[in-house]
């Protein structure tokens, strides 16, 4: 049987570049400010580090990913750490299937994997599960990152265009992704952290 493409990185002998075994520092800082709270969804959670971080700070956290192997590992981490985060195999492009609503959504490296068509689908998917007034914290590769290795680079104007209807861009700040040594040949990649609020459509 052919393995789904997003399972492959989680069955390789070396971890995927983004699988650093701890939360991204950007999200640690958000958690320390009390911003990862309430009903929280980690869309495309991988092995669960951001969702587990949120749970450790009191959030009712759900992590979803299309990779069965990633979700299995995330559940194992939750058990080992005694945390009550929940994890489900699900598609970030089909979040209405969850039949749940959230106060906060985390995106750590998901938006930048989509082409233009799927960005539209992803936006609608997020909008369907985030309450009015809720926040999305989105970390994506930045066009400030030189070279072409790794995911598609994202410009600020692309983020603003993608989240122009039914959303309010609170801020877009320069940030970094931490990566492991086995993947892209870099330990830090330039990123944008976008803070985006869901607002009622006119």
Residue closest to 158 by CA, chosen among 198, 125, 114: 114
77 membership: H or E segment, kind and range: helix 68-81
CA–chain centroid gap for 28, Å, is 14
Q: What is the pTM of this model?
A: 0.91
Model confidence pLDDT, tens digit, residues 144-198: 998 888 888 999 999 999 999 999 999 999 999 998 865 555 588 999 999 999 9
Question: Residue 115 — φ and ψ, nearest 5°?
Answer: -80, 180
All domains in the chain, ordered by first residue = 17-198 (3.40.50.150)
pLDDT surpassing 50 at residue 14: yes
The confidence band for 1, taking pLDDT boundaries of 50, 70 and 90, is very low
pLDDT in tens, 89-138: 999 999 999 999 999 999 999 999 999 999 999 999 999 999 999 999 99
CA distance linking residue 174 with residue 184, whole number of Å: 20
């Amino acid at each position: 049987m052919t393995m789904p493409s997003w399972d492959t990185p989680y069955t390789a002998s070396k971890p995927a570049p983004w699988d650093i075994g701890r939360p991204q520092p950007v999200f640690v800082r958000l958690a320390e400010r009390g911003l990862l709270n309430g009903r929280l969804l980690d869309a495309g959670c991988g092995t669960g580090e951001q969702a587990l971080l949120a749970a450790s700070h009191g959030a009712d956290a759900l992590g979803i990913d299309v990779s069965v192997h990633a979700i299995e590992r995330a559940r194992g981490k939750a058990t080992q750490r005694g945390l009550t985060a929940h994890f489900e195999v699900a598609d970030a492009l089909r979040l209405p299937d969850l039949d749940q609503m959230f106060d906060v959504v985390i995106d750590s490296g998901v938006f930048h994997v989509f082409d233009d068509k799927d960005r539209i689908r992803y936006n609608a998917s997020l909008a369907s599960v985030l309450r009015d007034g809720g926040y999305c914290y989105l970390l994506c590769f930045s066009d400030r990152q030189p070279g072409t290795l790794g995911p598609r680079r994202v410009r600020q104007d692309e983020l603003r265009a993608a989240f122009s209807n039914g959303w309010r861009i609170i801020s877009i700040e320069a940030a970094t992704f931490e990566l492991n040594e086995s993947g892209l040949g870099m330990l830090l990649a330039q990123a944008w952290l976008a803070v985006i609020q869901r607002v009622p459509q006119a």
